[in-house]
Amino acid sequence: MMTSSINTLEPGGVQKMHVHNAASITLALDGEGVFSTIGRERFDWTPGAVLVIPPRVAHSHHNPGTGMMRSITFLDGPLWHAARNSGYRDVEAAE
Protein backbone atom coordinates (compact mmCIF):
# COMPACT_ATOMS: atom_id res chain seq x y z
CA MET A 1 0.00 0.00 0.00
CA MET A 2 1.04 3.55 -0.67
CA THR A 3 -0.36 6.97 0.09
CA SER A 4 -0.32 9.78 -2.44
CA SER A 5 -0.71 13.53 -2.40
CA ILE A 6 -0.65 16.46 -4.79
CA ASN A 7 1.97 18.97 -3.69
CA THR A 8 2.32 22.60 -4.72
CA LEU A 9 4.87 25.27 -3.97
CA GLU A 10 4.34 28.96 -4.72
CA PRO A 11 6.86 30.87 -6.85
CA GLY A 12 9.78 31.82 -4.61
CA GLY A 13 8.71 29.19 -2.06
CA VAL A 14 10.84 26.70 -0.16
CA GLN A 15 9.74 23.55 1.61
CA LYS A 16 12.53 23.52 4.18
CA MET A 17 14.79 20.59 4.92
CA HIS A 18 12.87 17.71 6.53
CA VAL A 19 12.83 13.93 6.96
CA HIS A 20 10.17 11.22 7.29
CA ASN A 21 10.18 7.48 7.93
CA ALA A 22 8.66 6.51 4.59
CA ALA A 23 10.42 6.38 1.24
CA SER A 24 9.06 9.00 -1.15
CA ILE A 25 8.58 8.86 -4.92
CA THR A 26 7.83 12.27 -6.42
CA LEU A 27 6.65 12.82 -10.00
CA ALA A 28 7.39 16.38 -11.17
CA LEU A 29 4.42 17.86 -13.07
CA ASP A 30 5.06 21.62 -13.38
CA GLY A 31 7.66 24.10 -12.29
CA GLU A 32 10.33 25.95 -14.19
CA GLY A 33 13.61 26.25 -12.27
CA VAL A 34 12.42 23.98 -9.45
CA PHE A 35 15.00 21.85 -7.67
CA SER A 36 15.28 19.58 -4.67
CA THR A 37 18.13 18.77 -2.37
CA ILE A 38 18.43 15.18 -1.22
CA GLY A 39 21.15 14.77 1.35
CA ARG A 40 23.75 17.25 0.12
CA GLU A 41 23.03 16.84 -3.61
CA ARG A 42 20.94 19.15 -5.82
CA PHE A 43 18.49 17.70 -8.34
CA ASP A 44 16.92 19.99 -10.96
CA TRP A 45 13.35 19.21 -11.95
CA THR A 46 12.04 18.69 -15.46
CA PRO A 47 8.39 17.83 -16.15
CA GLY A 48 7.98 14.06 -15.91
CA ALA A 49 11.13 13.59 -13.81
CA VAL A 50 10.93 11.18 -10.88
CA LEU A 51 12.71 11.73 -7.57
CA VAL A 52 13.21 8.80 -5.21
CA ILE A 53 13.96 9.85 -1.64
CA PRO A 54 14.99 7.07 0.74
CA PRO A 55 13.46 6.91 4.23
CA ARG A 56 14.98 9.20 6.86
CA VAL A 57 17.13 11.15 4.35
CA ALA A 58 16.97 14.94 4.77
CA HIS A 59 15.57 16.75 1.73
CA SER A 60 14.02 20.05 0.68
CA HIS A 61 12.21 21.51 -2.34
CA HIS A 62 12.79 24.96 -3.86
CA ASN A 63 10.84 27.00 -6.41
CA PRO A 64 12.86 30.05 -7.49
CA GLY A 65 10.79 30.26 -10.69
CA THR A 66 7.77 32.41 -11.55
CA GLY A 67 5.18 29.62 -11.85
CA MET A 68 3.57 27.21 -9.40
CA MET A 69 5.39 23.94 -8.70
CA ARG A 70 3.12 20.88 -8.85
CA SER A 71 3.97 17.26 -8.14
CA ILE A 72 2.45 13.96 -7.10
CA THR A 73 4.16 12.24 -4.20
CA PHE A 74 3.77 8.60 -3.22
CA LEU A 75 4.86 7.33 0.21
CA ASP A 76 5.30 3.70 1.17
CA GLY A 77 4.30 4.48 4.73
CA PRO A 78 0.54 3.98 5.30
CA LEU A 79 1.28 2.01 8.46
CA TRP A 80 3.54 4.80 9.74
CA HIS A 81 0.77 7.33 9.06
CA ALA A 82 -2.00 5.18 10.53
CA ALA A 83 0.08 4.81 13.68
CA ARG A 84 0.60 8.60 13.66
CA ASN A 85 4.33 7.96 13.57
CA SER A 86 5.40 9.36 10.19
CA GLY A 87 8.63 10.62 11.68
CA TYR A 88 8.25 13.93 9.84
CA ARG A 89 10.41 16.66 11.31
CA ASP A 90 12.19 19.77 10.08
CA VAL A 91 15.96 19.63 10.26
CA GLU A 92 18.67 22.30 10.08
CA ALA A 93 21.02 20.55 7.66
CA ALA A 94 21.29 17.37 5.65
CA GLU A 95 21.67 14.37 7.92
The model's pLDDT over 4-29, given as tens digits with 9 standing for 90+, comes to 899 999 999 999 999 888 889 999 99
Q: Strand order of the sheet with strand 14-19?
A: 41-44, 35-38, 59-62, 14-19, 89-90
- The pTM of this model reads 0.78
pLDDT band for position 95 (cuts 50, 70, 90): low
CA 57, 59, 60 angle in degrees (round to 5)?
A: 170
Return the higher-pLDDT residue of 88 and 41: 41
Q: What is the pLDDT of residue 2?
A: 76
The model's pLDDT over 31-83, given as tens digits with 9 standing for 90+, comes to 999 999 999 899 999 989 999 999 889 999 999 999 999 999 998 766 655 66
